[in-house]
Chain A
Amino acid sequence: MIFRTFLFALPFMSLSVFAGWDDVNMSPGATALGQEIFGLHMTIFWICFAIGVAVLGAMAFILFRYRKKEGVEAAKFDDSTFLEFTWTILFALILIGMSIPATITMIRAYDDTEGDINILITGHQWKWQYEYIEDEVSFFSNLSTSLDERNNLAPKGENYLLEVDEHLVIPTGARIRFLITANDVIHSWWVPDFAIKQDAIPGFVNTGWTQVNEPGIFRGQCTELCGQYHGYMPIVVEAVSPEEYKEFIIQKKEAKLQQAALTEKLWTTEELMAMGEGVYQKNCVACHQVNGEGLAPVFPALAGSDIVMNDKARQIEILMEGVQGAAMQSYAEQLTEVEIAAVITYTKRSWGNDVNGNGEIVAPKEILDYKTNKL
């Protein structure tokens, strides 16, 4: 009896103390597939709940009813082929009952036909890259929660650890197909409201699809351990009207052209340093740390590094190509020429590197030249 009370009181006690159903159950889904999977989950849950109540209830009864009493001998039976046969068949029937709706939903979830819009999602340590295949628009999406919030130095916002700098924008009413892969280790792209969880595996392209009918913001996270910042690569999808979506794509394309113009501009040291600091905070601190000391032995220090202080050519090469066999990836695609020039300038002139090294400035043009020469 006591067992039963405990087992079943526990969840409900906490239910009354804490907020609503949302905190204890799966997302009901923002798409048809999400809703269907939620419905399947609830069906299976109630079947399991009923079995659990029946078994634990029977157990509680037996424990109470057949506790040792004076003058009552235990029975001697130890077998009943009929009973054993009956409940084996019963289990089989329940399982068949569960597998039918599961199979139907499974087939629907595995629809792999092409979408109206196809988006290539690439997992990187520790950020997502989104490429709109038809529109040739591509950008990275990084966690935007500040380090101060993570280190308890500032109050945590409502979407703590679930906010990014660039949302994945999709139009409502269209069939969106996601092509999911990874660049380094295995990640997993999960948006609970869409009921999509697909592993992003280097060398493989997995697919998932969704169709959102109401505008909204949907948040998710990486769900496959992918290294030390696995917990810090959220996903934010924003569904907007088709008109707004068109606007978004146009803006992205214009921004690309503007970037090209910026590369030609003459930059002052202050401008580069200011921009470089921002780029560094966003892309580099995770490994090389705010003070440029890195984290031995995997992430080398930039402060006092000979390459950073004196070897401009090699530093450009590292940023553009990455380092084979190390965590350092290529930033040629992730950052613009201006941003790369700015961040190199920033590292060469921070943490005493300008005093101990040459403190040179790198112009965006030099990065562009590197790219051109490579071609």
Chain B
Amino acid sequence: MSAVIESHHDDHHHGPAKGFSRWLYTTNHKDIGSLYLWFSFIMLFVGGAMAMVIRAELFEPGSQIVSPEFYNQMVTNHGLIMVFGVIMPAFVGLANWMIPMQIGAPDMALPRLNNLSFWILPAAFGVLLSTFLMEGGAPNFGWTFYAPLSTEYAPPTVTFFIFSVHIMGASSIMGSINIITTILNMRAPGMTLMKMPLFVWSWLITAYLLIAVMPVLAGAVTMMLMDIHFGTSFFNAAGGGDPVLFQHVFWFFGHPEVYIMILPAFGIISHIIETFSRKPIFGYSSMVYAIASIALLSFVVWAHHMFTVGMPIAGELFFMYSTMLIAIPTGVKVFNWLSTMFRGSLTFETPMLFAIAFVALFTIGGLSGLMLAIAPADFQYHDTYFVVAHFHYVLVPGALFSIVAAVYYWLPKWTGYMYDEVLGKTHFWLSFISVNLTFFPMHFVGLAGMPRRIPDYAMQFADYNMIVSVGAFLFGLSQLLFLFNVLKCVYYGKSATAEVWEGAKGKGLEWTVDSPAPYHTFETSPDLTKPQTNS
């Protein structure tokens, strides 16, 4: 857009519409970003409530509050909601808000598609959650829904589950197409690929992963649908099918999916650490290459989720070696973050605290991941609480902490108001202590032999399970503080400056616009080929 057009069209310059239709019909990237973020926030409490049911049931040995059948429904839906309803939409929401602002674009490239990709999500989760009210109950076969438990032996509501997964997949694919199109076409002049902010880079790669694997998931659930309703035998051994095929297809989707939930976090953490270290990120290009290599490797490691299905030894060794390789780019990233902080001038505002906790606890999750990669040892770890501990360490203090950090970091830019720093730090310390209290002892009960997904357990696991439950309740309650802090910021916060953070100077285009960012930013692209005044 040229400056000439802008100066003559003040009458076309409009703010948001009023009322509910603003949100229903909006094509504005900031509105849609907010919708995604609020949606995932609500789902966090829905999925979190299910986790509370799980932990209450496991508080002591013996049957406590729910039946084994309902317990399985809780485990399944907790997983599905947290993966597809919290972490993924939250990252898409952040992408919507930040990518146009970080690359100097006026909006997303495909605004109507953007609206659609959000609004089918509540529909998908409405369908999924409605199964709780149906005969036979909600899906109860785990978020990995292995056939034939999820086909021949599934409750009748599995069909609704399949429909819901299809809609989620469509939403993700549309969102990724939009993100890729935006990044590749709408960067400000002078912003070459290797000058893009790392969050933009991480999302570009993530979006390609999504486009590559979401159709695979759709294929898996479609084959399930055929087996259930149309008499095929893809996964039914009695009809000549292969139950292990399901796992191969699922994890070919599932492992890249795991990285879809962590790569954008890498971008976010890089920005926060450089801002609060008052130093540029260390090893920018190796950060980019590391993300790209992790993404590529994610396609050739899937069967490490299946070391006990009876693969030939060549398969076991291949997937063991390829999985171990992932430790290299991941290690590079951790070392780069440390080097960014090294000889910096560090301050510890709430986003930085969450980012530091991310690096520390993600490292622990990464190391337990390395242990899990060792195939013969994995015979002992597989499907125990050790695995539960591992993936919660990378997803809760990993992905979720990065989202919380991002919200604290950019909230003043979005709303124009500062959040309450004391509340923010209280929220951090409560979360940090309780997240470790919840997930660290899981390593112990897992190694000692407690299988995952069981509603009751042997006596020797009782002590640690009680600690885990107490930690989980505390973690759940702490997140109410987060909600309160966000609302307080929106309604009663003190005004924020354009730069917000002392260290944000020259750390990206988003800090060059006002706080709150105007409804339409960068109607004229900033020209990065000229020397910048603010950097």
B449 within 8 A of A: yes
Contact assessment for B141 and A52 in the assembled complex, using a CB-CB cutoff below 8 Å: no
Residue ID in chain B nearest A27 by CB atoms: B449
**Partner pick for A48 among B310, B359, B368, CB 8 A cutoff:** B368
Contacts of A210 in B (CB 8 A): none
Contact assessment for B324 and A40 in the assembled complex, using a CB-CB cutoff below 8 Å: no
A374 within 8 A of B: no
B367 within 8 A of A: yes
What is the CA–CA distance of A26 and B61 in the complex, to the nearest angstrom?
21
Contact assessment for A48 and B448 in the assembled complex, using a CB-CB cutoff below 8 Å: no
Within the complex, the shortest CB–CB distance from A374 to chain B, in Å, comes to 20
Contact assessment for B463 and A84 in the assembled complex, using a CB-CB cutoff below 8 Å: no
Within the complex, the shortest CB–CB distance from B60 to chain A, in Å, comes to 8
Contact assessment for A102 and B356 in the assembled complex, using a CB-CB cutoff below 8 Å: no
Contact assessment for B63 and A66 in the assembled complex, using a CB-CB cutoff below 8 Å: no
What is the CA–CA distance of A158 and B61 in the complex, to the nearest angstrom?
12
Contact assessment for B327 and A206 in the assembled complex, using a CB-CB cutoff below 8 Å: no
The stretch of A92-100, A240-248, A304-312 in contact with B is: A92-100
B441 within 8 A of A: yes
Residue ID in chain A nearest B279 by CB atoms: A74
A109 within 8 A of B: yes
Contact assessment for A67 and B68 in the assembled complex, using a CB-CB cutoff below 8 Å: no
Contact assessment for A88 and B440 in the assembled complex, using a CB-CB cutoff below 8 Å: no
Q: A98-B374, A185-B149 are in contact. Are A198 and B347 (CB under 8 A)?
A: no
Interface of A is mostly: mixed
Residue ID in chain A nearest B134 by CB atoms: A297
What is the CA–CA distance of A216 and B336 in the complex, to the nearest angstrom?
52
**Partner pick for B279 among A6, A69, A76, A156, CB 8 A cutoff:** A76
Contact assessment for A151 and B376 in the assembled complex, using a CB-CB cutoff below 8 Å: no
By CB atoms of chain A within 10 A, which of B286, B357, B433 has the most? B286
Contact assessment for A74 and B449 in the assembled complex, using a CB-CB cutoff below 8 Å: no
Interface size on A, residues (CB 8 A): 104
A107 within 8 A of B: yes
Considering only residues 84-112 of chain A, those with a C-beta below 8 Å from chain B are: 84, 87-88, 91-92, 95, 98-99, 102-103, 105-107, 109-110
Q: A66-B343, A74-B278, A95-B327 are in contact. Are A225 and B377 (CB under 8 A)?
A: no
Residue ID in chain B nearest A79 by CB atoms: B283
A258 within 8 A of B: no
Contact assessment for A67 and B149 in the assembled complex, using a CB-CB cutoff below 8 Å: no
Residue ID in chain B nearest A90 by CB atoms: B331
What is the CA–CA distance of A201 and B136 in the complex, to the nearest angstrom?
25
A278 within 8 A of B: no
B169 within 8 A of A: no
The stretch of B105-113, B254-262, B378-386 in contact with A is: B378-386
Interface size on B, residues (CB 8 A): 104
**Partner pick for A225 among B62, B441, B453, CB 8 A cutoff:** B453
Contacts of B363 in A (CB 8 A): 52, 55-56
What is the CA–CA distance of A156 and B458 in the complex, to the nearest angstrom?
9
Considering only residues 286-317 of chain B, those with a C-beta below 8 Å from chain A are: 286, 308-310, 313, 316-317
The stretch of B36-44, B188-196, B202-210, B238-246 in contact with A is: B238-246
Q: A156-B459, A231-B68 are in contact. Are A102 and B345 (CB under 8 A)?
A: no
Q: A66-B341, A150-B456, A221-B451 are in contact. Are A78 and B72 (CB under 8 A)?
A: no
B375 within 8 A of A: yes
Contact assessment for B380 and A14 in the assembled complex, using a CB-CB cutoff below 8 Å: no
**Partner pick for A295 among B69, B148, B281, CB 8 A cutoff:** B69
Contacts of A107 in B (CB 8 A): 313
What is the CA–CA distance of A327 and B448 in the complex, to the nearest angstrom?
32
Contacts of B67 in A (CB 8 A): 228
Contacts of A55 in B (CB 8 A): 334, 338, 363
Contact assessment for A231 and B464 in the assembled complex, using a CB-CB cutoff below 8 Å: no
Within the complex, the shortest CB–CB distance from A266 to chain B, in Å, comes to 40
Residue ID in chain A nearest B146 by CB atoms: A186
Residue ID in chain A nearest B345 by CB atoms: A74
Contact assessment for A3 and B376 in the assembled complex, using a CB-CB cutoff below 8 Å: no
**Partner pick for B459 among A158, A188, A192, CB 8 A cutoff:** A158
What is the CA–CA distance of A221 and B375 in the complex, to the nearest angstrom?
20
Residue ID in chain A nearest B70 by CB atoms: A228
A268 within 8 A of B: no
What is the CA–CA distance of A316 and B68 in the complex, to the nearest angstrom?
29
Residue ID in chain B nearest A104 by CB atoms: B376
Contact assessment for A37 and B342 in the assembled complex, using a CB-CB cutoff below 8 Å: no
Considering only residues 145-168 of chain B, those with a C-beta below 8 Å from chain A are: 146, 148-149, 152-153, 155-156
Contact assessment for B313 and A106 in the assembled complex, using a CB-CB cutoff below 8 Å: yes
Chain B, 445-488, contact with A by CB distance < 8 Å: what is the 0/1 string? 00111011111111110011001000000000000000000000
Contact assessment for B448 and A23 in the assembled complex, using a CB-CB cutoff below 8 Å: yes
**Partner pick for A75 among B279, B356, B380, B436, CB 8 A cutoff:** B279
Q: A23-B464, A223-B384, A231-B457 are in contact. Are A66 and B338 (CB under 8 A)?
A: no
Contact assessment for A102 and B375 in the assembled complex, using a CB-CB cutoff below 8 Å: yes
Within the complex, the shortest CB–CB distance from B508 to chain A, in Å, comes to 15
Contact assessment for B243 and A186 in the assembled complex, using a CB-CB cutoff below 8 Å: yes
Q: A18-B464, A203-B243, A231-B455 are in contact. Are A69 and B316 (CB under 8 A)?
A: no
Residue ID in chain B nearest A205 by CB atoms: B310
Within the complex, the shortest CB–CB distance from B78 to chain A, in Å, comes to 13
Contact assessment for A202 and B237 in the assembled complex, using a CB-CB cutoff below 8 Å: yes
Residue ID in chain A nearest B246 by CB atoms: A186
Within the complex, the shortest CB–CB distance from A182 to chain B, in Å, comes to 9
Q: A158-B459, A186-B243, A225-B141 are in contact. Are A88 and B328 (CB under 8 A)?
A: yes
Residue ID in chain B nearest A160 by CB atoms: B459
Within the complex, the shortest CB–CB distance from A270 to chain B, in Å, comes to 33
Pairs of residues from A and B, 10 with the lowest C-beta to C-beta distance, nearest first: A203-B237, A231-B454, A206-B310, A24-B444, A75-B343, A74-B345, A78-B280, A74-B278, A223-B383, A48-B367
What are 26 sample pairs from A and B whose C-beta atoms fall under 8 A apart?
Answer: A10-B440, A40-B377, A41-B380, A51-B367, A68-B345, A75-B343, A77-B282, A79-B284, A80-B283, A84-B335, A84-B336, A88-B328, A91-B327, A95-B324, A98-B370, A107-B313, A184-B148, A195-B380, A197-B308, A199-B308, A199-B309, A203-B241, A206-B309, A221-B449, A223-B451, A298-B155
